[in-house]
Structure 1
Amino acid sequence: MNRFFTCCFFLLAFSYSNAQKKNAAFQLHIHKTNAPVHIDGIADEEGWLNAEVAGDFRMVLPMDTSGALVRTDVSMTYDNENLYLLAVCYNYGEGRHMVESLRRDFSFLKNDNFLLFMDTFEDQTTGFSFGANAFGAQWDGAMYEGGKVDLNWDNKWTSAVKNYPDKWIFEAAIPFKTIRYKKDAKQWGINFGRNDLKTTEKSSWTPVPRQFPTASLAYTGSIIWDEAPPAPRSNISVIPYVLGSAAKNYTNPSKTVFDKGIGGDVKVSIGPSLNLDLTVRPDFSQVEVDKQVTNLSRFELFFPERRQFFLENGDLFANFGYADIRPFFSRRIGLGVPINFGARLSGKLDKNWRIGIMNMQTAKVAETDLPAQNFAVLSLQRKVFRRSNIGFIYIDKASLNYHPDEADSSKNIYSRYNRNIGMEYNLASSGNQWTGKAMVLKSFQPGAAGDDWTQAANMQYSSRKWLITAQLQHVGKNYTSEAGYVPRKGYIKLNPLITHYFFPKGGNVLTHGPQWSSVFYFNSAFKETDHSNILSYLITFRSKSTFNFVAQNDYVQLLNPFDPTNLGKDSLAAGSKHNWNTIGFDYVSAPQHLFTYTASMRYGGYYANGHLFTAGGDVGYRFQPYVNITMSASYNRLLLAQPWAKTNFLLVGPRIDVTFTNTLFFTTYIQYNEQLENLNINARLQWRYKPASDLFLVYTDNYYPGPFAVKTRAFVLKFNYWWNL
């Protein structure tokens, strides 16, 4: 096994291309302006009259072999404070613009929009993205892994969109102190993307193969400065908050608890590309609630991080490993426990090195005997070749001043410490056709008994017609990551996947093709314990709707007792073997309609010769751009022998988004979960009265569905202000 991972590592290390950047010939020259630029969507300033224009966009979807049908012209200029962007997005034919709402950070494929992608360090790996939809909703995010955008990144900038009979114009001012870039550099990587739902066309300034997103930094052109942009300056932002709240627990009759809080964050730029974040008594009450799911699995479910403090340069910490092997998962910090304070230093040391250092301390909780805990993380990343990198991570979770008395069984016992150390190599070829990873991890904890290593490797090949992936993982039975997300231990996993695409020359079908994937699990003796074999056929229509047919075979040998309903009724015995088949389909409607929907169905066997029927989907309608209503539902019907018999699980929840303007939002989210016997209501009003400064009013209720009665209720009023010193 170790020899295999060693071979994978060297295969990844030498499978690279050191060729010149694909679209180096695409250049946009930017010139400084001395005249003011007013951000109003009207291109009448002197700076725009003298600016060079990037036009002649290329079609990416539905096909990448021609110029774009929809014309887009882009200009850029700058002064001592801001980088300015002007995008003139011409209409093609008749019809209204299609947008979801005026809400910030919209879904790219469901809106007519324009986006900017900037590789400010010319490393084809990290960068920034800004944009807007056709009605002025803003989009901003930090870019990582060469083409992904973290929309949770939020910063100060201004923009305006103005609609005309034949076009819409997006104009923006991005302060230099909002972004990070290399000092004295006169060339950045850059690309522009446009999505037009009337024509179902996605286009970009530079040619991008259709299998890759327009955000792929490997396919950027270049912006050439007439002189180096202003030298990055030290910048300090103070973001205090104050809040008041009222909460009551009706299950244990007590008085309403009134609380108040004050805290905040400080952001300090250190040099051109490092950022120091400090936080004291952070509060995340305004963060959107998780979307619930019915859990019929044997393992813990994953819910993504949504808290702003953990997100900037979050890939340095959170992307180490794989989706099911994360040595660090920030949601382990402060989950139901107050955070006292924290600090994080992240960014670039130079053109080759990135660093991330985080330290967070949580408070003691007397009710559960939980001691105060400290979470420390060190992450280093070294660029190798053109787009690949080698990473190192160290994680230390420690209980402070904690000396448990294990003889006292009346108290909960917690570990004194848990540490992880690891390395990984991330491959990204110059054109992104080859990507992969090889990694190794080891944990340390009191009473360690060996077999606490984890190794994993994968390789992926992506072309217009083929997507081929192979992955192998080994997680030791004693490997422990208390600050991470590793839902399963003591296994070897093999996961191959092959997809092929066909491209008809005409008709309503754009692409179609089969996909075969398998997941095999083995114990340490390489004896099979689980597998899933999945054969599917995906059809993508020119309207952008999709239909996918699925057939699946599952085999499970239970390693531990398991209740197939997760209701605590009874458990199937460890060692018992189960095998079943399933068929189903998934359908997603075209996104350019006001009425949209998805539908999914599975029917087949289940544990203990039972049967499982699952159906779900979403139905949405938008009164654009102000109201977006979505109803989500899933239904699971289990037929099993006694004592489980017939069990039904219904999960249903409407969501109503009202965007009065692009700075005033109201969201109501209702979720009824039959498995948890809970009805949850979450309503949130957000007023962005200044860039990156907000007022929130949040209301939360939890009810017993039958008999209908309130469990808990809470109100929170929160005010924060972004103050630049």
Structure 2
Amino acid sequence: MGGAALGTVLFALTFMLGLPVALHASAPEGVAAAPAAGDHDDPPLVATRIPAGMQIRIDGRLDDEAWSLAEPITDFTQRDPVEGAEPTRRTEIRVLFDDDALYIGAFFDDDPEGVIAHQRRRNAGLGSDDRFMWILDTFGDGRTGYFFEVNPAGLMGDGIITPGSGASINKSWDGIWYVRTGLQPDGWVAEVRIPFSTLNFDPNLDAWGINFQRTIRRRNEEIIWRGWRRNQSLFRPVHAGRLEGLEGISQGLGIQARPYLSAAGDQAPSAGTGWDRDAKTGLDLSYSITPSLRAAVTVNTDFAEVEVDQRRVNLTRFPLVFPEQRDFFLEGSGVFNFAPSSGPRPFFSRRIGLVDGEEVPIRGGARLIGQVGRSEIGFYQLRTGTATLRAELGEEGAFEVPGEDFTVARLKQAVFQQSHVGAVYTRRAHASGPGADTPDRQTVGLDADFFTSSLFGRYNAQIEGFLVVHTDPLEGGWNRMGDHRTRGFRVNFPNDLVRFHASHRSFGTAYAPAVGFVPRRGFARTQPTLTIAPLLPSVDAIRRLQFSFFWEYLTDLEGQLLTRSANFTLLETQFESGDQASLEVKRGFERLLNPFTIRREADGPVVLDPGSYSTTEWELSGRTAGRRTVSGNASLVWGDFWSGNRRRVSGGVTARPLPGFSFSTNLERNEVRLPEGEFDTNLVRFNGSWDASPFTSFSSSIQYDDVSRIVGLFARARWIVRPGNDIFLVWTHNWLNADAVLGPDGEISERRRSFETLSRGGAFKINYTLRL
């Protein structure tokens, strides 16, 4: 069977297998039709309207008269450590509303001396703390929603829930809402106000999905209101309860203006340049066309406050992918998720406004994101300006990047209760500067995701498929489509005791979407994974054991074996304390078709010859629970590596001596011994932060690796004057720690003294948000 026919068969097979799965779970629309822990008749939570003349002061005390009008919910169920058991502590939740906002008042019975609250910085991970989480499914579709969390210290965390088989949350979304917390002799409280203007919602719904979950960290106890089975989750809105009674609510005029003012300066002494200073203003203006569909325009988009990427050492033949951190692209980004997240990536937002990690100015553009009925819509139209970027270390001069136009359109059509079919289109076109004869590059993709959380009554199952093609980047037009195409499917069974998935995908030899990301092409890959994770309730110290098997079989498009990998987790132990330990063994085969330069050394590059390589590698790892004042992790990898062997040692320590203070260090060392050459690599990272309050934070990081031989410092101060209004102060500094700089051929091209400043710069930025 030819490649084109195979791709068509695979994509059709996805629909043939997926339809019965989705139909098995099909039900009337709305959250009310979804089972919550096997019982869809659970009573709803009815929100109480605040009478005219009454007000709520968000002060973390719950002593306003209006709170006494709301009937609390207390019927929580333990999810961990004992599924379905009564919680060890009482939780009370009250919900009020007025025309403009939703209010949540929560009381958590506890011993104040046992409450753990290390973190204060917005969106910091709360795996170490007591916490209160809740979700709002404002479209009642059981697929999407908003996520919020707080801890006893008043930390605010939030995100967007996107459809999928697991807990897929975009936590970089920063909504505008308000919370205050407080300790009491009998526990702690949280008082929350969420403006309706922060949310997109369906104004015609008579009920939203809502759910609440509490973590008692010292016991590693999780209690939840609805959906308490381990196969369910807070992050799957289909298992949420119902919030009724919201009537007469408003987003106001639906207009939000977010102007900014920034001043920045940078210098590159190593290139002999002086200080380059710049001051600019810009604006993000959004309008809610409907309560569920929001349009925005941006002018002179600025990302001065964005943190630097974490440094990594790459000993593979393929490029690394770094996450998006810019707010403009993170808001509503879930609609652009395509097929399996590790799949073809026809749209990768870091292709816009970034070249090799260096910023290219975004002059302006428009965005449309939201829902119309059961359709999710996402659209970008952006223009970047020309830019002159410094060459990489070891290369001379600079290069000019042209201005370009980017178009991205995405449609997801919900089918049945938890499934969708979708399409994506991208276009990248020359706008100004060099390369005027570059043809437009276009990409079209189709995907399908059939998911159910009620297979045989209580199990999760999923089938996904995708097909993507793009135009010829050199000639333009839809030529040689087989070379510029990828397709595949995945079957997934993501459950608590047994998790299984199997996928098959293939990438054409010239597959390279202009606004996407692909690390490798010209191959076909089959990849099954099986994990078994039994609980051990009869063993006091151990909560769960885990065993897993991962297999990968990768060939070129002619069927020649390129990679074969079999990974076994022989034992992973999860202790009741929250500590973990595991032992893995990895058997691999790799065929090199071309020479591979794995490292450039002063005495010449280390080059692996074409041929076949078989390896066996072991890994022993462990980590301690994050709730401790001092916690850590460590990993030791040893065994075969290409034609020789490698030992990799990595680990980290985090200390939280006082609330709001955090210090951590992470180390990674590779010792590689090959017949072709020997070398070591080292990566060191130090992070420190002081969060004086949930609204004032000071953070810094220092990174060094001896591959680039660059020491990088990033420091940032942030003051949240009030949610939506921020002041940032940022400083970056990079030093070269080397006596010799290598040229592209691996030979010493230049001598320099150690710790010479390569670049440094600072920025000051003010954001202001006005809502009408």
Relative to the length of structure 1, the TM-score reads 0.95
Does the residue aligned with 1:564 lie in a helix, a strand or coil? Answer: strand
CA distance in 2, matches of 1:625, 1:124: 37
Letter in 2 for 1:704: L
Kindly indicate whether the alpha-carbon contact (under 8 Å) linking 2:112 and 2:187 is maintained by their aligned counterparts in 1.
no
Q: Does structure 2 conserve the Cα–Cα contact (< 8 Å) formed by 1:95 and 1:198? A: no
Decide which of 217, 223, 226 is 2:237's aligned counterpart. Answer: 217
CA positional deviation for 1:219: 1.2
Deviation of 1:148 after TM superposition, in Å, equals 2.4
Aligned to 2:672: 638
Q: Secondary structure at the match of 1:109?
A: coil
Q: Verify the 8 A CA contact 2:593 2:610 in the aligned structure 1.
A: yes
Query: What's the counterpart of residue 418 of structure 1?
Result: 441
SS of alignment partner, residue 669 of structure 1: strand
Deviation of 1:213 (Å):
3.6
2:421 matches 1:390 = yes
Q: Is the 8 A contact 1:120 1:181 kept in 2?
A: yes
Q: Which runs of 5+ in 2 are unaligned?
A: 1-5, 28-32, 389-397, 739-753
2:648 to 607, 614, 619: 614
* 3-state SS, counterpart of residue 368 of structure 1: strand
CA contact (8 A) 2:112 2:186 kept: no
Alignment of 1:324-339 (within 5 A): 324-335=343-354, 336-339=359-362
Contact 2:100 2:250 in 1 (8 A): no
Counterparts in 2 of 1:700 and 1:602: CA distance versus 1, 3 Å: same
User: Is the Cα contact below 8 Å between 1:359 and 1:375 reproduced in 2?
Assistant: yes
Write the distance in 2 (CA, Å) between the matches of 1:525 and 1:193.
Answer: 51
Distance in 2, matches of 1:564 and 1:211, equals 43
CA contact (8 A) 2:400 2:434 kept: no
On the 8 A contact 2:656/2:662 being kept in 1, the answer is yes
Q: Is the 8 A contact 1:449 1:478 kept in 2?
A: no
Q: Aligned partner of 2:760: which letter?
A: R
Q: Distance in 1 between matches of 2:627 and 2:700?
A: 24
Deviations 1:21-52 (A, max 9, x none): 11233311112111211111112222211102
| 2:392 aligned partner | none
* CA deviation profile, 1:603-662 (whole Å, cap 9, x unmatched): 01111x2111111111011023220111111111111123xx221111011100110111
Deviation at 1:570, TM superposition (A): 3.7
Mapping of 1:468-479 within 5 angstroms?
468-479=500-511
C-alpha distance in structure 1 between counterparts of 2:431 and 2:601, whole Å: 36
Residue 557 (str. 1) matches residue 557 (str. 2): no
**2:47 paired residue number:** 30
2:563 to 524, 530, 554: 530
Which residue of structure 1 lines up, in the alignment, with residue 751 of structure 2?
A: none
Give the whole-Å Cα distance in 2 for the aligned partners of 1:450 and 1:319.
20
Q: 1:365-380 to 2 correspondence within 5 Å? A: 365=387, 368-380=399-411
Deviation of 1:547 (Å): 1.1
**Structure 2 residue 762 is the aligned partner of structure 1 residue 715:** yes
How far off is 1:320 after superposition? 4.7
* Partners of 1:443 and 1:722 in 2: CA distance: 39
CA distance 1:232–1:612, change in 2 (3 Å): same
Indicate the residue corresponding to 1:684 in structure 2: 716
Provide Cα deviations, 1:333-367, integer angstroms capped at 9, x if missing partner: 111311111211010011x1111111111112366
1:602 to 2:637 alignment: yes
Query: In the aligned structure 2, how far is the partner of 1:12 from the partner of 1:348?
Result: 24
Pick one of 529, 548, 564 that aligns with 1:497. 529
Are 2:324 and 1:305 equivalent residues in the alignment? yes
The superposition leaves residues 415-464 of structure 1 with CA deviations (integer Å, 9 ceiling, x where unpaired) of 42221101110122044610231111111124343422211110111333
Give the aligned partner of residue 153 of structure 2: 135
Q: For each residue in 1:563-589, what CA deviation from the matched residue of structure 2 results, as whole angstroms up to 9, or x when unmatched?
A: 123669446466411111100122121
Pair 1:15 & 2:21 matched: yes
Map 1:97-176; keep pairs closer than 5 Å.
Answer: 97-145=115-163, 147-176=167-196
* Residues 1:592 and 2:615 aligned together: no
Secondary structure in structure 2 of the residue aligned to 1:623: coil
Of 254, 257, 261 in structure 2, the residue corresponding to residue 238 of structure 1 is 257
Distance (Å, rounded) in 2 between the aligned partners of 1:461 and 1:434: 5
Alignment partner of 1:290 out of 301, 305, 309: 309
Corresponding residue to 2:703 among 650, 671, 682: 671
2:95/2:105 contact within 8 Å kept: yes
- Counterparts of 2:290 and 2:664, CA distance in 1: 45
Contact 2:294 2:370 in 1 (8 A): yes
Q: Which residue of 2 aligns with 1:702?
A: 734
Q: Is the 8 A contact 2:201 2:292 kept in 1?
A: yes
Q: Which residue of 2 aligns with 1:506?
A: 539
Give 2:654's aligned amino acid: G
Q: For the Cα contact (< 8 Å) 1:85–1:171, is it kept in 2?
A: yes
- The answer to whether the Cα contact below 8 Å between 1:233 and 1:272 also exists between their aligned partners in 2 is no
Amino acid paired to 1:527: Q
SS of 1:373's equivalent? strand
Flag the 1:4–1:690 CA change in 2: closer, same or farther, 3 A: closer
AA aligned opposite 1:593: R
Q: Is the 8 A contact 2:684 2:703 kept in 1?
A: yes
Q: Which residue of 1 aligns with 2:101?
A: 82
For 1:32 and 1:340, how far apart are their aligned partners in 2? Answer: 45
Q: For 1:331 and 1:567, locate their aligned partners in 2 and report how far apart those are by CA, in whole Å.
A: 31
**Secondary structure of 1:108's aligned partner:** coil
**CA distances 1:300-346 after superposition (whole Å, capped 9, x unpaired):** 10100000000122022244553242000000111131111121101
Matched residue, 1:539: 573
Aligned to 1:411: none
Q: 1:347 and 2:366 equivalent? A: no
Once the two structures are overlaid, the 10-residue window that deviates more, 81-90 or 426-435, is 426-435
Structure 1 residues 213, 110: CA separation in 2 closer, same or farther (over 3 Å shift)? farther
Look up the match of 1:357.
Answer: 379
Kept in 1, the 8 Å contact 2:469–2:481? The answer is: no
The alpha-carbon deviation at position 274 of structure 1 amounts to 0.6
Distance 2:678 2:511 in 1: 38
3-state DSSP of counterpart to 2:127: helix
CA distance in 2: counterparts of 1:315 and 1:86, whole angstroms:
29
State how far apart, in whole Å, the 2-side matches of 1:667 and 1:573 are.
41
Which amino acid in 1 is paired with 2:736? Y
Conserved 8 A contact 2:76-2:224: yes
Distance 1:398 1:450, change over 3 A: same
Change (3 A) 1:280 1:519: same
Give the total of aligned pairs: 711
- Report percent identity of matched pairs: 25
Gaps of 5+ in 1: 406-413
**Alignment deviations for residues 139-195 of structure 1 (CA, whole Å, 9 cap, x no partner):** 121221164221111122111001112110000111111111111322111100111
**Secondary structure at the counterpart of residue 42 of structure 1:** coil
Aligned residue for 2:741? none
Cα shift at 1:294? 0.9
Q: Distance in 2 between matches of 1:369 and 1:680?
A: 25
Any idea what the Cα deviations from partners look like across 1:243-302, whole Å, max 9, x if unmatched? 112211111222222211111211211111011121111111111111111111111101
CA offsets 1:60-103 (integer angstroms, 9 cap, x no match) = 12231312212211010111111100111111x57442233210
- Which among 255, 274, 278 is matched to residue 293 of structure 2? 274
Whether the 8 Å contact between 1:56 and 1:68 is mirrored in structure 2 is no
- Which whole-Å CA distance do the structure 1 matches of 2:760 and 2:670 have between them? 29
In structure 2, what residue type is equivalent to 1:590?
A
Q: 2:326 is matched by which residue type in structure 1?
A: R
TM-score (norm 2): 0.89
